[in-house]
Structure 1
Amino acid sequence: MELRRTFGQNVRQARLARGMTIEALAQDAGLSYSYLGEIERGLRNPTLAVIEGLAASLAVEPHSLLQP
């Protein structure tokens, strides 16, 4: 599986586990709703800064979002 797809699925799972909506996570991480949706669907290649921001908003380690 592609890394960006794995990352997107892990972001979605972590978001749902925390009971967050996509809108709430996008706002907390400083991203647009549509950009975050594309990340979750594996359509975007986020920068390291975006990965770090999402991990902070989800209270997880960045590397955990990249692991299959």
Structure 2
Amino acid sequence: MRSKAALGKALKEIRAITGVTQEDFGLVSSRTYISTVERGLKSPTLGKIEQLAGVLGVHPLVLLTAAYMDRFTHKEVERTAARLRDDLLAIVDGELR
């Protein structure tokens, strides 16, 4: 299981890539809250993850998935996307292990 620090790291990295500042989250969270999440001191709820992703302009699953990726590389994205696709299709087919 990934720690809340992994989600915070993913939030910080995606925020940097998208050029979003901590202050840009002002309508959904305080700068202090964003900082505590990024430092792994707090874990956002699913509803808060949805709001944070909205500010970043990404699907909430991007933020969650990034927390479970070992690194941001093309190979890692392909590996993770393939695993997600396989698991989701197994659920649709009623065959998840």
Q: Counterpart of 2:26 in structure 1: which amino acid?
A: Q
* Cα RMSD after superposing both structures: 1.5
User: What do residues 16-37 of structure 1 show as CA deviations (whole Å, max 9, x unaligned)?
Assistant: 111121111x214x10110110
Name the larger-Rg structure: 2
Equivalence for 2:18 = 18
Identity %: 36
Q: Count matched residues.
A: 66
TM-score, scaled to structure 1: 0.82
Equivalence for 1:42 = 40
Q: Which runs of 5+ in 2 are unaligned?
A: 69-97
Dislocated runs of 4+, deviation >2 Å: none
TM-score, scaled to structure 2: 0.60
Q: Which runs of 5+ in 1 are unaligned?
A: none
